Amino acid sequence: MPTVSFTIDDKVFDLYPEEYILKVGEGPQAQCISGFTALDVPPPRGPLCIFVRCFHGPLPHRVRFR
């Protein structure tokens, strides 16, 4: 899986596969689930992006959006 980069307020934040793929279960029953979900929010509220819990560790706690 590739490294995924987000640019927020001119800062680049890299997410590595182990940070956006969630492993559920153990052994042969284990499944890998993507931390990304499509979200289509039309204007005036969108477009937007929601960073959920699995990304909180790699991304800073306070990022200001303009």
- Domain spans, the chain: 4-55
CATH code of the region 4-55: 2.40.70.10
Interior angle at CA 14, CA 16 and CA 58, nearest 5: 75
Average pLDDT, the chain: 79
pLDDT band with cut points at 50, 70 and 90 for residue 8: confident
pLDDT of residue 59: 55
CA angle 47, 50, 55 (to 5 degrees): 145
Higher pLDDT, 35 or 32: 32
In terms of pLDDT, which residue wins out, 29 or 64?
29
Indicate the range of 31-40, 43-52, 56-65 predicted with least confidence: 56-65
pLDDT of 25 reads 93
